[in-house]
Structure 1
């Protein structure tokens, strides 16, 4: 099997990581493209002593890190550009902490693998993840709409949201109910399942809501490949079922981290 064939299944998830790291589909995809170009131009430099997925992310990390060395420009949060907002907040959060959080909680890498990817010791990863969650949670607070038709899952999500210090505006089980709740009490974040109780679509519900106002959205699905197609638009934040609580926490923190309407905790 060629290297390209080995890497192909992992590209949708690398795009997910790139978008979560940068807060932008365009920027995330740009780094993924640069990663692939680097591999094609110098295949002999691709890590050969690790799993292909690890080698792919390691190459991505090297390119992303080199692009951010000595970059101390952090535009103010008044900008509406997600990357500008992120940079302002990054000035107050250690970048390694965020990378450790995403790699372990969202991408599912082990502590040992994450340590390899960002070039730190195993012992540092848990501390970095804890620091990232704490710092991001202190910076952001939001009112959250949950679109989920499974009662147990909805309750679990509600608990996670409240544990993070956010408020739940409502739980919708159908497209129409979701849109109605959003119009009645505008949320600052939407957590949306795809398949809803009356066979309506969470994707359609989100489209209806976004047609009225902008709000960060996190999709939840058992079939992430249906959304990670490479076609635009793709969701910036996507959680795969069954999910870990830490994954939901990481996605919420990251989504709000790039959103200008979330406010610092007081």
Structure 2
């Protein structure tokens, strides 16, 4: 099996990580593209003593820490998320955010994350705790949950409230989601894909976004279906079944990059 074939299944998830780290599709994908270009240019430098996924993320980390692609994105007018988050980024070391996303969202163990950021396990655990504390202190919002499974909805609601946010409502259909959003404008939307009446959470989100701008986190058992590169894609994606830490990390990152919640400086 060629190196390209080994890496292909992991690319949708690397793209998820990159956009969560940068706050946008265009910026995140630019770093993934640079990573792949580096691998193609020097395949002999790709790590062979670890599994392909670890090698891919390790190569990405090298690009992330050594190359500044913000200027290229800014030239196309698509760096708004990075600009929005500037005040918060000044308060938080990038390494702590990487440690949080690698463990909580991407599912790497502390040992694997330590390998990826060239650190040790104790430092990774300290960085994750620091990142969660920093982000939670800076973000508060009212959250709309779109989820038709009662137990999952209750679990998400508990997580949201534990983070200090308010829940504006829980919708189980597309029409109910739009109605709740119009009645009380949320600062964040958590949306399942398949809803109770066979309507689509994606369509519900499109209807809401037609009314006003709000950060959205999609919840799905098939994230690769939304990360195809063929259309505008969600910046934040949670894979079912999810861990509570994953939901917390995604909520914190989504609000971290949202203009409406930038604190005064």
What is the TM-score with the length of structure 2 in the denominator?
A: 0.94
Q: Hey, what does 1:66 align to over in structure 2?
A: 66
Q: Equivalent residue of 2:104, what SS?
A: helix
Give unpaired runs (5+ residues) of structure 1: 72-79
CA distance in 1, matches of 2:160, 2:86: 25
Give the 5 Å matches for 1:1-266.
1-67=1-67, 81-264=80-263
TM-superposed deviation, 1:179: 0.1
CA distance in 1, matches of 2:63, 2:149: 41
Q: Equivalent residue of 1:196, what SS?
A: coil
TM-superposed deviation, 1:228: 1.4
Q: Equivalent residue of 1:235, what SS?
A: coil
TM-superposed deviation, 1:263: 4.5
TM-superposed deviation, 1:152: 0.5
CA distance in 2, matches of 1:147, 1:264: 27
Number of residues paired by the alignment? 256
- Please list the CA deviations of residues 83-137 of structure 1 after superposition, one character each: whole Å capped at 9, or x if unmatched: 1122321110011110000000000001111000001111111111111000001
TM-superposed deviation, 1:81: 1.5
Q: Equivalent residue of 1:211, what SS?
A: helix
Give unpaired runs (5+ residues) of structure 2: 71-78
Residue 62 to residue 33, structure 1, CA distance change in 2 (3 Å)? same
